[in-house]
Amino acid sequence: MPINPDAVGTKGEPVESSWTSKDCLLYALGVGAGMSDPTGFELEFTTENSQNVDQRALPTQAVVIPSFGSAMTNIGTFNPAMLVHGEQKVVLHREIPVQGSVVTISEVTGIYDKGKGAVVEVTLDSNLEGDGEPLFTNVFSAFIRGEGDFGGDRGPSGPKNVAPERDPDASITYQTREDQALLYRLSGDRNPLHSDPEFAKLAGFDKPILHGLCTYGFTGRALLHGLCGSDPARFKSMEGRFSSPVFPGEALTVNMWVDGNEAVFQTLGDDGRVVLDSGLCVFE
């Protein structure tokens, strides 16, 4: 069965996910924390036993704790190799503890006909076990090549969160490691596109590319330090569109344009190309 547009509104079964202090440390290292950062070694994110430093979790860890969601099984069949991660949004309802469990319910919230492919949007609401209150929400969209032309709604189009035509109010550059993808994959995404040179060549790349959500995590760190005074409790939401692959070893520059408690942002690769676009961060 091809993509089923009637799946919009369907929900998956609740799925439990847990994480530990060690998972938080590993995720932080996977998105570059502690590497020649202007804030120091980010000990609150990279250690659990430093004197007078309480361990904390990076806000963007919310994207790796739950799975894509069981609701994806409702959308029909497709070739997974044709799926590309398009956009990602995360909303923090409160600060993520350094260990815990959540129960996540996923819902198909959109299926759009883009002609050459279909865009599927899934929303995942994660409640903390123990008190049952919301902890974070993820919204991701995936573009599935070859699954369009089913006569459906084309969905939202046109630019959003456009950067102003002026110099950014803040700009932070982080250097990724040559082995960054090998480190990041230990937080859950073992796709060989990011580790196996031969598999990457089959996909049309000279070498393995960096996970999009790793670029997202590097960007989230820049937003945390540049806008929130390095305080995860002030980080409320982040959204962006993946626009170009990144290779491990590239430097990533995050430019931010601030307007009140919001900031439009873009992340640029080594050569100045935009790799994460249409960015918006809400903060306190």
Tokens of 91: 């909303």
| Cα separation, 8 vs 111, whole angstroms | 7
Overall size of the chain counted in residues: 284
- pLDDT reported for residue 37: 55
Domain 170-283: CATH architecture, name and number where available: Roll (3.10)
- Please give the torsion angle defined by the CA atoms of residues 93, 95, 96 and 99, in that order, rounded to the nearest 10 degrees: -130
Interatomic CA distance for residues 270 and 273, integer angstroms: 7
Residues in contact with 260: Cβ distance below 8 Å, sequence separation at least 6, in sequence order: none
Can you list the residues of the chain whose pLDDT is less than 70? 1, 36-40
The confidence score (pLDDT) of residue 81 equals 78
**Which stretches does DSSP call E strand in the chain?**
15-19, 83-92, 100-113, 117-128, 134-145, 170-175, 235-242, 251-259, 262-268, 274-283
What order of strands is seen across the sheet that includes strand 117-128? 15-19, 100-113, 117-128, 134-145, 83-92, 235-242, 274-283, 262-268, 251-259, 170-175
Residue 157, classified by CB atoms within 10 Å of its CB into exposed (0-12), middle (13-18) or buried (19+), is: exposed
3-state secondary structure of 182: helix
SS3 266: strand
pTM: 0.95
User: CA 85, CA 83: separation in Å to the nearest integer?
Assistant: 7
Helices (H), the chain: 21-30, 43-46, 180-184, 197-202, 212-227
- Residues labelled catalytic: 189, 194, 209, 212
